[in-house]
C-alpha cells in the first residue's frame, strides 16, 4: 500500500517500502521484503562486509512509509534459533525519507566475530525485513557514514515495547546482553537534527527503566 504518486515525486531514486543504506544490505527485493528474517535473502558472508564497531555504529535507512515502528537486532547465528539481541526497544518513527540512528552499540562479546544486523520495519504493509552481514570489531566509529542523515520531517522516539508482533521473538534484551545504548556516548558527529537526537536520547533514558522492569 503506497501513496504512489506523492511518494514517487518525493523519493525519485527508488520506490520501495524501505531501504537499508548502511551497513550494506544482504539484498533488497521489493516483492520479498516481507519474508523474514532478511527480506528473502540468505545470510552469506563476504569480503566486503561492513566492519561494525561495537561501541557505536550507525544504521541508516530510507522509508517510504510516513509512520513506522522499527526493531533493530543483532545475532551471531546464521540459522534458527537466531537468539536475537535487541539493540534498542522498538523505535516509533514518523516522516518520510532518510532515517538514521547514529549511536547503536552491540555486545562486546561479539567482537572479532561475524554476525547479522536485522532491521524490521512495521508499518502499513506489515513487517518488512532487511539484514546486513557484518564483522563486529572493537572500538567506536570515527565519524558517521555519509548515508547517516535524516529527512527534514523525520522524528523518532523509543517505545516501551521490546518486540514487534510477528517477529519470532527469542531475543535477549539490551540489559540481559550487557549492552545498552543508554550508556553509550552521545553521537559526536554534526547533526542538523539535534533536537530530534535529544528527543530520542531523552526518550531512551525515560523508557529504559520501564523496559528493564518488564524483563
Ligand atoms: C568489494 O568492494 C570493492 C570496492 O567497492 C568492489 O570493487 C568489489 O567488487 C567488491 N567485491 C565484492 C565481492 O563485492
Ligand atoms: C574491515 O576491516 C578489515 C581489517 O582492517 C579490512 O581489511 C577490510 O577492508 C575492512 N572492510 C571494509 C568493508 O571496510
Ligand atoms: C523460541 O522459544 C520457543 C519457546 O521457548 C521455542 O519453542 C522456539 O523453538 C524458539 N524459537 C527460536 C527461533 O529459537
Ligand atoms: C544468545 O545471545 C546472548 C547475547 O549475546 C549470549 O549471551 C548467549 O550466550 C546466546 N545464547 C545462545 C544459546 O547462543
Ligand atoms: C535522526 O533522528 C533521530 C530521531 O530524532 C535521532 O535520534 C538521530 O540522532 C537523528 N540522526 C541524525 C543523523 O541526526
Ligand atoms: Cu510499502
pLDDT per residue as tens, the chain (215 positions): 454 444 444 444 445 799 999 999 999 999 999 999 999 999 999 999 999 999 999 999 999 999 999 999 999 999 989 999 999 999 999 999 999 999 999 999 999 999 999 999 999 999 999 999 999 999 999 999 999 999 999 999 999 999 998 886 555 444 333 333 333 333 333 333 333 333 454 444 444 433 433 33
Give the pLDDT of residue 15. 58
CA–CA gap between residue 8 and residue 163 (Å, rounded): 31
The number of C-alpha atoms within 13 Å of 161 and in the hemisphere containing its C-beta is 15
Closest by CA position to 106, among listed 142, 69, 137: 137
The residue whose C-alpha atom lies closest to atom 12 belonging to ligand 4 is 83
Beta carbon of 48 within 6 Å of any ligand 1 atom: yes
Residues facing residue 156 across a β-bridge: 93
Ligand 2 atom closest to the Cα of residue 24 is: 13
Burial 134-147 (b: 16+ CB within 10 A, else e): bbbbeeebeebbeb
* C-alpha distance from residue 93 to each of 61, 90, 106, 157, 158 (Å): 12, 10, 21, 7, 9
pTM for this model (two decimals): 0.78
Beta carbon of 12 within 6 Å of any ligand 1 atom: no
Q: Which numeric CATH code is attached to 3-178?
A: 2.60.40.10
Give the pLDDT of residue 154. 98
Closest by CA position to 172, among listed 163, 185, 164: 163
Beta carbon of 81 within 6 Å of any ligand 1 atom: no
Domain ranges of the chain: 3-178
Beta carbon of 81 within 6 Å of any ligand 3 atom: yes
Q: Are 102 and 184 in contact (CB under 8 A)?
A: no
Pocket test for ligand 4, best of 74, 81, 83 (most atoms within 8 A of CB): 83
Question: Quick check: helix, strand or coil at residue 152?
Answer: coil
Give the pLDDT of residue 133. 98
Pocket test for ligand 5, best of 56, 102, 145, 204 (most atoms within 8 A of CB): 102
Burial 82-106 (b: 16+ CB within 10 A, else e): bebbbbbbbbbbebbbbbbbbbbbb
Give the pLDDT of residue 200. 56
CA–CA gap between residue 124 and residue 151 (Å, rounded): 20
DSSP element (H, E) containing 127: strand 126-137
Q: Are 142 and 93 in contact (CB under 8 A)?
A: no
Amino acid at each position: 500500500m503506497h501513496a504512489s504518486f506523492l511518494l514517487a515525486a518525493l523519493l525519485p531514486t527508488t520506490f520501495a517500502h524501505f531501504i537499508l543504506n548502511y551497513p550494506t544490505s544482504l539484498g533488497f527485493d521489493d516483492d520479498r521484503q516481507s519474508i523474514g528474517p532478511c527480506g528473502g535473502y540468505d545470510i552469506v558472508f563476504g569480503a566486503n562486509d561492513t566492519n561494525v564497531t561495537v561501541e557505536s555504529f550507525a544504521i541508516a535507512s530510507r522509508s517510504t512509509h510516513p509512520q513506522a515502528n522499527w526493531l533493530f537486532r543483532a545475532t551471531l547465528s546464521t540459522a534458527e534459533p537466531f537468539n536475537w539481541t535487541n539493540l534498542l526497544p522498538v523505535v516509533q518513527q514518523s516522516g518520510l525519507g532518510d532515517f538514521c540512528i547514529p549511536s547503536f552499540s552491540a555486545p562486546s562479546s561479539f567482537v572479532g566475530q561475524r554476525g547479522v544486523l536485522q532491521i524490521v520495519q512495521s508499518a502499513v504493509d506489515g513487517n518488512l525485513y532487511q539484514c546486513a552481514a557484518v564483522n563486529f570489531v572493537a572500538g567506536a566509529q570515527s565519524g558517521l557514514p555519509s548515508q547517516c542523515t535524516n529527512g527534514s520531517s523525520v522524528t523518532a522516539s523509543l517505545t516501551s515495547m521490546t518486540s514487534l508482533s510477528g517477529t519470532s521473538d527469542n531475543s535477549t534484551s539490551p540489559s540481559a546482553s550487557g549492552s545498552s545504548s543508554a550508556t553509550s556516548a552521545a553521537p559526536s558527529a554534526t547533526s542538523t537534527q539535534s533536537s530530534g537526537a535529544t528527543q530520542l536520547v531523552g526518550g531512551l533514558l525515560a523508557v529504559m527503566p520501564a523496559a528493564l522492569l518488564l524483563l
